[in-house]
């Protein structure tokens, strides 16, 4: 999943903060040995990879500013997409409680939007399709 991501951002694996930097089109994820269990590493990396699909050269989502509505929606998309990638990768999601509480916190921040979960899951699926290199033609043929 990681190495086959087309038109991917630059990756660095430096200790410290995990983040996607849109202006640099770069993901930093601390090295795997910095995590208690490998699942937390993949959880974090997949989350940042989903964010990176929002770059203007990919799916062109709006990121917003920390704490605003657009930012909250983007966090929800990233966490949902990461959870979906666990399943695709065959990783047992030992971090499901953390993911669930993270998703719940963003949903509560956006409680006035009753269509949010559908929008976020659709955006997450588009991000996954992009990362996996699935084209619209692939999606149509698998739906048939």
DSSP states of 45-75: HHHHHHHHTTSTTTT------TTSHHHHHHH
> Which residues touch 35 (CB under 8 Å, ≥6 apart)?
41, 44
108 vs 91: which has the higher pLDDT: 91
Q: Measured between alpha carbons, how far is 112 from 144 in angstroms, rounded to an integer? A: 36
Q: How would you class 11 by CB atoms within 10 Å of its CB: exposed for 0-12, middle for 13-18, buried for 19 or more? A: middle
Nearest to 78 by CA among 109, 46, 105: 46
What pTM was computed for the model?
A: 0.85
Residue 35 has pLDDT above 90, yes or no: yes
| pLDDT at 56 (0 to 100) | 96
- Hey, where are the domains in the chain? 10-143
Angle among Cα 125, 56, 48 to the nearest 5 degrees reads 55
| pLDDT at 91 (0 to 100) | 84
């Amino acid at each position: 999943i990681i190495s086959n991501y087309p038109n991917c951002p630059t990756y660095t694996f430096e200790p410290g903060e995990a983040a996607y930097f849109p202006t640099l089109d770069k993901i930093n994820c601390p090295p795997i040995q910095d995590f208690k269990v490998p699942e937390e590493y993949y959880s974090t990396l997949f989350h940042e990879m989903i964010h990176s699909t929002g770059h203007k050269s990919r799916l062109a989502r709006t990121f917003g500013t920390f704490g605003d509505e657009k930012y909250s929606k983007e966090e929800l998309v990233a966490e949902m997409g990461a959870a979906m990638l666990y399943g695709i990768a065959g990783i047992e999601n030992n971090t499901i409680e953390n993911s669930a509480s993270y998703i719940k916190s963003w949903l509560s921040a956006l409680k006035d939007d009753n269509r949010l979960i559908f929008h976020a899951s659709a955006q997450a699926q588009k991000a996954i399709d992009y990362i996996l290199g699935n084209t619209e033609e692939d999606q149509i043929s698998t739906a048939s």
